[in-house]
Amino acid sequence: MYFCLVYYFYGIKTCWEFKFENYTALFQLAFILFRMSRR
């Protein structure tokens, strides 16, 4: 999950390549990005 977060910030967006079948992990990632973007 943390690797996906780092790659997302670099603009690579390779989260799907990690085969994230857990929607809870994707939801947590989106929630974290939402909290950081509100600052």
Answer yes or no: are the C-beta atoms of 15 and 26 closer than 8 Å: yes
Angle, helices 2-9 vs 23-37, to 10°: value is 50
One digit per residue, pLDDT tens: the chain, 39 residues?
A: 455 566 566 655 555 555 555 667 778 888 888 888 887
The residue to which tokens 């799907």 are assigned: 16
Q: State if pTM tops 0.85.
A: no
Coil, strand or helix at 14: coil
Residue type, 2: Y
User: Domain coordinates of the chain in residue numbers?
Assistant: 2-37
